Amino acid sequence: MTHQELFKNIKKKRSFLCVGLDTDVDKLPDGIDRSSKGVFEFNRQIIDATHEFCVAYKVNTAFYESMGSAGWEAMEHTVKYMQVVCPGVFTIADAKRGDIGNTSGMYASAFFEHLNFDSITIAPYMGEDSIAPFLKYTGKWVILLALTSNKGAEDFQLKELARSFKNEKVKLFQEVIRTAQNWGHLENMMFVVGATRPEMLAEVRAIAPDHFLLVPGVGVQGGSLQEVSRYGMNKTCGLLVNISRSILYAGKDSNFAQKAKEEAKKIQEEMEKIIAGSILFHS
Amino acid sequence: MTHQELFKNIKKKRSFLCVGLDTDVDKLPDGIDRSSKGVFEFNRQIIDATHEFCVAYKVNTAFYESMGSAGWEAMEHTVKYMQVVCPGVFTIADAKRGDIGNTSGMYASAFFEHLNFDSITIAPYMGEDSIAPFLKYTGKWVILLALTSNKGAEDFQLKELARSFKNEKVKLFQEVIRTAQNWGHLENMMFVVGATRPEMLAEVRAIAPDHFLLVPGVGVQGGSLQEVSRYGMNKTCGLLVNISRSILYAGKDSNFAQKAKEEAKKIQEEMEKIIAGSILFHS
């Protein structure tokens, strides 16, 4: 998918919502079998209920791997299902992979060929050759971790480096964003920036004004959609805001799909207002 | 497995070799089916041929995931097989995972419970809460990426931080090792340090004298076993040297297991000489 196609979908759906399929087999509602088959059945109903209101789905690989090969099978069925039911939707493997070149090539093959995801999240620690194999695929995206939504982001990502840039101190996450722009571009690279530090989005926009950002942390983790939009939106929207738990588990029983739909619709309506009020899109 | 049990195995086998099962379905020798079943059959024969000469096996998850759920099944069979055939061997999931707390908990469940690996490699970028869920398991190990063997290690790992420590400049990988010692200890944490920069092992030993290190990069990647041992060995050996391709693909046809055995034996004999010549073990 191209940058423009993604922007077009956002305008058409008046939404920049990404629904996170962090499907926990132990949290499946009554009436859904607590198995890998149940996980797919749950995802199927969530996708049917929400795809009208979102432009992307993010599949968190950890939740599937906790069930082993059967979980991987549920992931395979899930990504295939969304490609059939909502073929224009942007699909994200939230896998946080990254390894030496030949190994990253294997991960690229797993997620871009075998599973046919549009994108994958990557940890930057191992540098350029750990990312390059993913950037070889036209129309596919690397979503590089920059500033994550968790407390542990303080441990390394927010550390200041010895070198400065134009007399300003550079934090590790800023160095990651700056350096990675030499490897990828607006058509194959996004960055993860957590919603829990919305003011940092302004710092990110100073370095990467035009890139799409994947923003987790709105909802259960406490981030605010308004704040994220204020600091992070650009002229092609530039935001995919991920929400997982508050949509998936909006209902506790057989009403779960209906409740997920209502929650996704509510968020889409809030996003529609933000889009309508933004001068950026319409300038 | 405890630190002492691992050291005891090293002394008993006179080896600190870890065989890396980076099994590439496209490189399987003639006579082995090029499928996930073939991958397991290949691994089975490699394990039978080499377990006498090594103390650990490292399973590189990327190579299995490139075959999807069928590949995960081959990985499940492989780890079960080694636990039956050589129950004292140390098993490593080379998965380079790491995510926010609840997601890392799912990865811990996948690799420590479902697959029952002894250890997993983790990328440090997301900080403490991305690692903590793995450290809750007694007898299981986090192997944290510190200084990797690839060129991309220069991009961030070797960057100097603004803060210094005892008037010395601190590089990111040193900060990772220092900080992570507040989270784990000698019984649940190791570090990855690549063999391609053996002199850096001395810098690592200045910060982490007693930890085990997992050292990739000897063999095809160019690192030297002698150099690694000179700079990295400590009084409980403290090294697991991983070799993958030069063992797995020592033979090109039906002789592959015999050739792998010869190659593993040759490395073990070199290690035995290093151990015998080391004053550290015997002091």
Check residue A163 and give its pLDDT: 82
**Percent above pLDDT 70 for chain A:** 99
- Determine the Cα angle at B99 with ends B97 and B105, to 5°: 85
When scoring B96, B135, B168 by the number of chain A Cβ atoms within 10 A, the one with the most, hence best to mutate, is B96
DSSP B159: P
How many secondary structure helices (H) and strands (E) does chain B include? 12, 10
- Dihedral (C-alpha) A194, A199, A200, A204: value to the nearest 10 degrees? 100
Instruction: List, as own/partner pairs, every contact residues A161-166 make where C-beta atoms lie below 8 angstroms and the sequence separation is at least 24, other chains included.
Output: A161/B159, A161/B160, A161/B161, A161/B162, A162/B159, A162/B160, A162/B161, A162/B162, A162/B169, A163/B159, A163/B160
Residue B177 CA to residue A176 CA, distance in Å, equals: 20
Instruction: Please list every residue in chain B whose beta carbon sits closer than 8 Å to the beta carbon of residue A145.
Output: 125-126
Report the residue of chain A nearest B72, measured CA to CA.
A69
pLDDT digits (tens, 9 = 90+) for A116-159: 999 999 999 999 999 999 999 999 999 999 999 999 999 999 99
| Residue A100 parent element (H or E) | none
Contact A155 B115 (CB under 8 A): no
Residue B187 CA to residue B190 CA, distance in Å, equals: 9
In the structure encoding, which two tokens stand for residue B100, read together?
């926010």
Check residue A223 and give its pLDDT: 83
**Percent above pLDDT 70 for chain B:** 99
- Determine the Cα angle at B251 with ends B245 and B257, to 5°: 90
When scoring B35, B126, B171, B179 by the number of chain A Cβ atoms within 10 A, the one with the most, hence best to mutate, is B126
CB atoms within 10 A of CB A277: 10
Check residue A204 and give its pLDDT: 97
Residues of B known to be catalytic: 96
pLDDT digits (tens, 9 = 90+) for A152-186: 999 999 999 998 878 888 999 999 999 999 999 99
Instruction: Please list every residue in chain B whose beta carbon sits closer than 8 Å to the beta carbon of residue A72.
Output: 65, 68-69, 72
Check residue B243 and give its pLDDT: 96
In the structure encoding, which two tokens stand for residue B41, read together?
């059959």
Instruction: Please list every residue in chain B whose beta carbon sits closer than 8 Å to the beta carbon of residue A131.
Output: 152
pLDDT bucket at A280, cuts 50 / 70 / 90: confident
Domain boundaries, chain A: 3-282
Residue B87 CA to residue B81 CA, distance in Å, equals: 9
pLDDT digits (tens, 9 = 90+) for B226-248: 999 999 999 999 999 999 999 99
- The dihedral sign for the CA sequence A173, A131, B96, A6: positive
Helices (H), A141-194: 172-180
- Residue B164 predicted with pLDDT over 70: yes
Check residue B165 and give its pLDDT: 79
- Residue A283 predicted with pLDDT over 70: no
Q: Does domain A3-282 sit in CATH 3.20.20.70?
A: yes
Check residue A160 and give its pLDDT: 96
Check residue B283 and give its pLDDT: 56
Chains A and B form CB pairs within 8 A to the count of: 203
When scoring B63, B135, B155, B174 by the number of chain A Cβ atoms within 10 A, the one with the most, hence best to mutate, is B155
| Residue A214 parent element (H or E) | strand A213-215
Instruction: Please list every residue in chain B whose beta carbon sits closer than 8 Å to the beta carbon of residue A24.
Output: 106
- Residue A220 predicted with pLDDT over 80: no
Residue A251 carries which side chain, given as an amino acid letter? G
- In which residue are the tokens 């599949």 written? A59
DSSP A237: B
CB atoms within 10 A of CB B153: 25
Minimum mean pLDDT range among A277-281, B176-180, B258-262: A277-281
- In which residue are the tokens 């082995």 written? B32
Check residue A164 and give its pLDDT: 80
Distances (CA, A) of A145 to A163, A205, B174, B263: 21, 15, 21, 39
- As a whole number of angstroms, the longest Cα–Cα distance in chain A is 60
Average pLDDT over chain B reads 96
- Residue B223 predicted with pLDDT over 90: no
Average pLDDT over chain A reads 96
Check residue A168 and give its pLDDT: 83
Known catalytic residue at A96: yes
pLDDT digits (tens, 9 = 90+) for A20-66: 999 999 999 999 999 999 999 999 999 999 999 999 999 999 999 99
pLDDT bucket at B19, cuts 50 / 70 / 90: very high
Check residue B221 and give its pLDDT: 78
Residues 6+ apart with CB under 8 A from B246: B219, B220, B263
Residue A101 carries which side chain, given as an amino acid letter? G
Contact B127 A107 (CB under 8 A): no
- Determine the Cα angle at B94 with ends B93 and B97, to 5°: 95
